[in-house]
Amino acid sequence: MRMSQLFSRTLRQAPSGAESKGYEYLLRAGYIKQLGAGIFSALPLGFRSLRKIEEIIREEMDAIGGQEMLMPVVNTAELWKETGRYFTIDKELSRFKDRTGRDMVLAMTHEEAVTALAAQEISSYKQLPCMVYHIQTKWRDDPRPRAGLIRVREFTMKDSYTFDEDYEGLAKQYAAHYESYFKIFGRCGLPVIAVGSDSGMMGGKVAHEYMYLSPIGEDTIILCGSCGYTANRQVAVCAKDPGDDEQPQDMREVATPGKVTIEALAEFLDIPAKKTAKALFLMGTFTDDENQEYDQLIVALIRGDLEAEDAKIQKAARANRIRGASDEEIRSCGIEPGYGSPIGASGCLVIADDSVAGSPNLAAGANREGYHLLNTNFGRDYTGTVADIAGARDGSICASCGAPMSSSRGIEVGNIFQLGTRYSESLGCTFQDRQGKQKPVVMGSYGIGLGRLLACIAEEHHDEKGLILPITSAPYQVHLVSLLKDSDVPDLIYHELRRAGIEVLYDDRTESAGVKFTDAELMGIPIHITLGKKNLEKECVEISLRGLEGKELISLPNVVSCITAKMYQLKQEIMNSFDVQPLA
């Protein structure tokens, strides 16, 4: 491609709103352009990089038995109503009516569509196991798009789906995807870790996320450097000090004027924080049996020495979504903000952390301003659902080995789910087993966001001058910069490289050498060839690698062989740079 004809142009200054260097350089180098909030166009350079990523994904999906297909982005809402997600997903799912008044949705994922297809195509165990995938546009009306392609509303995703006779078969296909994803991200030059995660709206019990560790990430990852335990904070577990071994004592009320925090209460009563019960008040949105939404106050209790995790509370409550409750909403259940507890309350859903359920004689709110209760006991003074709702954090003790854990920020670039039979049972996707009985197909779901993957590659591979993209995902393999005037040598080299199957971006513009070098560094193509007058007099060109010091002079007849060798070297370095993390 000749840069004189390139559709996009480079920018010297970072556009406003560029929240990270990777995003800034993708914008400035002309890879992407924003059309609206969370909506981006992939310009020719960016589109070529995305195609490179697609091909890596295709090769790895095909290698584990995948069959590529394509499903529509517009789905009939009836399918989503059958699985219940039409009613439980908030405004992120865009709903509309077609011209006949039929309810439709813009698919944010394709479990419903693929299950409906499988229900028509799969009838016997002889057709199982099976795996299909597609690379398709998705729409998720995220209320807070940010950081360029990291969090968008319209995006392209590879989503694959597996179908099996039983959970043993699902485990095999899940393990195959687990390993394949490490190969995909490794070939793209992106270091990732796999962490246990919440299945969220997808359903199922087993799920992993692939995380690129980055300070701009929105997810918090909990890691144990001793035993290797890793998990998203939303599901991470930690060891908790056991409750005191003592008999329940009589509950009594004490005056605690102005003591509305656990720290102030514990100091005033001269007790450790672990002898208190901390209450959190949240409004949960639920769906009733007639698929109508309603709100209910959730009272979440956790021991005062621990912190609660909202995602765990939402899952334990089985709420569609949660938010902080107002004082008015709290008082409507007979609870006094600042001095609240479930004791004597009504009309609320109580979720108690297992630390509270297992700790006798805790201090808790008396639901009267300026007062608390001593010696409250779960099961005697109030009841509710018991669950692990504690959030692990820096310094939390690993439940597996007892070592202190640490935390890191991460960006989710892929996920895999063992769905089980949730969708197949809802949509009638069954098969006849070996004994002639009808059984629901056991399913798995696996996703990778292509744009987010490109964004993370840009975050990982750049310096103060611009991008330094891996050869496997760079839009071109070679950036040819000509500083010559009135010479046909650059054109001859350009055509010779192309005939050899090498992808070349040829800067044939009449710009100054400074502009050309600045743009070449910004665009981040891995191999640079520079043609200058002095070296041409020696019948040589200058070859360098983006991001590395040092240049080589190569004679004109050896340019193609030298470039071919460097391309092979760069690809091998990427292939040798990653490992597959064992599936726990």
100 within domain boundaries: yes
Same domain, 129 and 203: yes
Same domain, 142 and 289: no
Same domain, 207 and 114: yes
Same domain, 344 and 376: yes
299 within domain boundaries: yes
Same domain, 490 and 451: no
Collapsed DSSP state (helix, strand, coil) of residue 2: strand
Same domain, 64 and 213: yes
281 within domain boundaries: yes
* Domain ranges, residue 123: 48-217+407-459
Same domain, 380 and 418: no
Q: How many domains does the chain have?
A: 3
Same domain, 261 and 382: yes
User: Domain holding 510: CATH number?
Assistant: 3.40.50.800
244 within domain boundaries: no
- Asked if 267 and 298 touch (Cβ cutoff 8 Å), the reply is no
Burial class for 228, CB neighbours closer than 10 Å (0-12, 13-18, 19+): middle
467 within domain boundaries: no
Determine how many CB atoms are found less than 10 A away from the CB of residue 62: 13
240: which DSSP letter? -
Same domain, 263 and 314: yes
237 within domain boundaries: no
Same domain, 381 and 259: yes
Question: Among 357, 386, 415, which residue terminates a domain?
Answer: 386
- Cα torsion through 273, 276, 281, 285, rounded to 10: 100
Per-residue pLDDT tens listing for the chain (584 residues): 999 999 999 999 887 778 899 999 999 999 999 999 999 999 999 999 999 999 999 999 999 999 999 999 999 999 999 999 999 898 899 999 999 999 999 999 999 999 999 999 999 999 999 999 999 999 999 988 988 999 999 999 999 999 999 999 999 999 999 999 999 999 999 999 999 887 665 556 789 999 999 999 989 999 999 998 999 999 999 999 888 889 999 999 999 999 999 999 999 999 999 999 999 999 999 999 888 899 999 999 999 999 999 999 999 999 999 999 999 999 999 999 999 999 999 999 999 999 999 999 999 999 999 999 999 999 999 999 999 999 999 999 999 999 999 999 999 999 999 999 999 999 999 999 999 999 999 999 999 999 999 999 999 999 999 999 999 999 999 999 999 988 899 999 999 999 999 999 999 999 999 999 999 999 999 999 999 999 988 999 999 999 998 899 999 999 999 999 999 999 999 999 888 888 86
CA dist list (Å): 499 to 335, 503, 504? 77, 10, 11
User: Domain holding 262: CATH number?
Assistant: 3.90.960.10
Query: How many whole angstroms separate alpha carbon 534 and alpha carbon 107?
Result: 58
User: Domain holding 99: CATH number?
Assistant: 3.30.930.10
- Asked if 231 and 407 touch (Cβ cutoff 8 Å), the reply is no
